[in-house]
Amino acid sequence: MKLKIATTKSELALDFSRYLAILIASRKEVHIALSGGSTPKVVFDELAANFQPDIDWHKVHIYWGDERCVPPEDEQSNFKMTLDHLISRIQIPETNIHRMLGENEPSKEAIRYGDFLKEKLPQANGLPQFDLVILGMGDDGHTASIFPHEIDLWHSERYCEVATHPESGQKRITITGQLINNASIVAFLVTGENKAEKVKEIHEQEGHYQSYPASLVAPTGRLLWFLDAAAAAKLT
């Protein structure tokens, strides 16, 4: 596991963008699962504004690690956020964009997307393999859309499952633990002082860390944590 601590969220976005540009340049084709949330939004803005000459988006295929069950034009849609902050501002072929269809019936879409990933992604260890999975972490320790009250979804034999937000009841589609942990690289992007306690518990294996889905991320490849100083403040 590698830990990279930036002073600010903007510095983190620059650090990760540099890392991503180098990763993409080193491979002939790259399959990336994206995350929603406020930190990826800043990263996407950085990539679109300052890394256009450095990244050949024609060899990048983008997917989503989770999606809210809303239409793609809805303000809550992870796809819409990515479209507004990245896709509409870069030169990426439409055929390289593979979204979860949040407007579809959730259980059917989870099956469809899981089957699609099995067909589209390279295989390794008998499973589909992403080159990179980008994850966030909630202040409750959830990651992708696997929440503590549904932590068993992590261990599902399916590639995608339907999750339920514990407060709103909103349905979400999420990839499961076997796909996350089979990735070549998993990168957490975590910012904010409200995440500091969970970051400490997970990294120092204390408290109730085993009840947090984010603690189950242990890929066969590399695990990277990009933190800002606020999120890392309680690490010893």
Q: What is the pLDDT along the chain (236 residues), one digit of tens a residue?
A: 899 999 999 999 999 999 999 999 999 999 999 999 899 999 999 999 999 999 999 999 999 999 999 999 999 999 999 999 999 999 999 999 999 999 999 999 999 999 999 999 999 999 999 999 999 999 999 999 999 999 999 999 999 999 999 999 999 999 999 999 999 999 999 999 999 999 999 999 999 999 999 999 999 999 999 999 999 999 98
Token pair listed for 230:
């606020």
- Determine contact, residues 191/9, Cβ cutoff 8 Å: yes
% of the chain residues with pLDDT over 90: 98
For helices 38-50 and 78-85, angle between their N-to-C axes, nearest 10 degrees: 30
Token pair listed for 181:
């942990």
3-state SS, residue 44: helix
Report the pLDDT value the prediction gives residue 1, as an integer from 0 to 100: 87
Across the beta sheet with 160-164, the strand order is: 66-68, 171-175, 160-164
Backbone φ, ψ for residue 71 (5° rounding): -65, 155
3-state SS, residue 31: strand
pLDDT tens digit sequence for 97-151: 999 999 999 999 999 999 999 999 999 999 999 999 999 999 999 999 999 999 9
Q: Where are the beta strands (DSSP E) in 156-228?
A: 160-164, 171-175, 185-190, 222-228
Rounded to whole angstroms, the Cα distance separating 137 from 146 reads 10
Nearest to 36 by CA among 89, 85, 91: 85
Backbone φ, ψ for residue 171 (5° rounding): -80, 145
pLDDT tens digit sequence for 179-189: 999 999 999 99
Token pair listed for 107:
């259980």
Rounded to whole angstroms, the Cα distance separating 22 from 26 reads 6
pTM over 0.95: yes
Report the pLDDT value the prediction gives residue 31, as an integer from 0 to 100: 98
Average model confidence (pLDDT) across the chain? 97
